[in-house]
Amino acid sequence: MGTGTTADLQGGPREPPAPTRPYRGRFAPSPTGPLHFGSLLAAAGSWLDARAARGEWLLRIEDIDPPREVPGAAEDIIRALDAFGLWWDGDVVFQSRRSEAHVAGLQRLLDLGWAYPCLCTRKSIAAANRRRDRPDDTSYPGTCRSLPPSAAKRTRVVRALTTSEPIEIKDRLQDGFTQVLEMDPGDFVLRRRDGLIAYQLAVVVDDYEQGVTDVVRGVDLLDSTPRQRWLQTLLGYPEPRYMHLPVIVQPDGAKLSKQTGARAVATSDPGTTAWQALKCLGQEPPAELRGAAPVELWDWALAHWSPQHLAGIRNIQMP
């Protein structure tokens, strides 16, 4: 396992222009279960986009939510990626070992006045929204914005102060996505009640410190992007380019995920599975390559990589 090699590349992503910094992408799965076909699709799309741009591709295990993690899942994911020939650059980074950097990011936001302690519970938030005649609203109504700093001694929860200005995400595949954070989701959590740093802040800090220029992931995470973009702005970080790939859905329309019981992707016939993944990514691998060694399939895909075939597509049926 480790750094993979590729053949001399032909072409690369057609649009938009490459970033001014050398391309550096990443795949950042959570070890809440094994690698399933939907995760493989995201990994392959991210890897191909990085390699087609002659860039680096990093692997980061986002293990910052212990209650949801499955023992051995991280190792299973790493083994599966290796079996499919999706080799990464450098060492695998485990997010749980980067808590010092995450806490420093949180403290910076507190020092700048863009974060504050919160005493609210889910029950009190629901009650506040009912008083606002918004009984179905789950967004945070800003109740604790005016708390004195001394309140920090009574709670671990810290929220980001959001803006009423629309945040527009310019995505390489999906139509313009705009969100007003103050309305939805409201001031979001940066540190949880159990003291753990929340995903939105951890991913922003780690992408910045790893020099990530391009984030390629599933469209199910598009809704998180305005929050991450807001934190990047507050912390003075450069904005990565985003490309949100379609997600695999089951016959009933539900997204294929660990929560819906998605099975581990089989590594016994990686060539056939990789061929199917390329088809789902809008590529047209030759029929004679079905079942070929993954490295042969990826070499073909690198020479023909054109993600724009997926423009505007959000869901793909499970093959």
| pLDDT at position 17 | 46
The order of strands in the sheet holding 24-27 is 24-27, 56-61, 93-94
∠ CA 276-58-225, rounded to 5°: 80
CATH topology of domain 24-100+200-317: Rossmann fold (3.40.50)
pLDDT at position 130: 86
Strands (E), 56-145: 56-61, 93-94, 115-117
At position 100, the amino acid (one-letter code) is E
pLDDT of residue 260: 59
**Percentage with pLDDT > 70 across the chain:** 90
Average pLDDT score, the chain: 90
Give the per-residue pLDDT at 98: 97
Q: Which of 48-57, 85-94, 118-127 bottoms out in mean pLDDT, i.e. has the lowest?
A: 118-127
For residues 103 and 205, what is the distance between their CA atoms, to the nearest angstrom?
10
Q: What's the pLDDT score for residue 19?
A: 53
Q: Encode pLDDT of 9-29 as tens digits.
A: 222 233 444 556 899 999 999
pLDDT tens for residues 201-260?
Answer: 999 999 999 999 999 999 999 999 999 999 999 999 999 999 999 999 877 666 766 665
The pLDDT assigned to 257 comes to 65
pLDDT above 90 covers a percentage of the chain that reads 77
Query: What region, left, alpha or beta, does residue 45 occupy, with left being phi > 0 and alpha being psi -120 to 50 degrees?
Result: alpha
Return the residue matching tokens 């279960």: 33
Domain assignments of the chain as residue spans, ordered by start:
24-100+200-317, 118-191
Q: Which two tokens stand for residue 185?
A: 């989701």
Q: What is the pTM of this model?
A: 0.89
Residues in CB range of 277: below 8 A, 6 or more apart: 37, 40, 41, 44
Radius of gyration of the chain measured on its C-alpha atoms: 21
